[in-house]
Homo-oligomer: A and B are copies of this chain.
Amino acid sequence: MKGVVKHIVLAKFKEGVTKAEIEKLIKDYADLRNHIKQVKSFEWGTDVSIENLNQGFTHVFETTFATLEDRSAYVAHPAHVKFGAQLFPTLEKIIGIDFVPAPEP
């Protein structure tokens, strides 16, 4: 996984956001790949944890990039900015955190 940057987003949607709206948002999120060439991979899923530590978050999105520069290009890309403006009003809370898998500790 040398050189990979992992961009993780946790989301909790507002009450009243419908299942259909969430599905559309996930489709649009995944579709960013087709507009932003720096996206290396995109995965998502809903929480299946059993430790009672999800703090109410229900969805995870993980996008990877080859370099920090590619990650920055993605963040600034008009398609990403536009998607963010669409996603944000539907969220009760969000965390976005990026990391470069470190060498063995």
Contact = CB atoms under 8 A, between A and B. Distances in A.
A57 interface: yes
Interface centre among A44, A51, A100 (most CB of B within 10 A): A51
B95 A62 contact: no
Given A68-B48, A102-B44, A55 B6 contact: no
Contact of A60 (B29, B68, B99): B99
Interface residues of A, number: 42
A21 to B, nearest CB: 13
Copies in the complex: 2
Contact of A48 (B43, B53, B98): B98
A97 B44 contact: no
Interface of A: 1, 5-10, 23, 26-27, 29-30, 43-51, 53-55, 57, 60, 62, 68, 71-72, 75, 94-102, 104-105
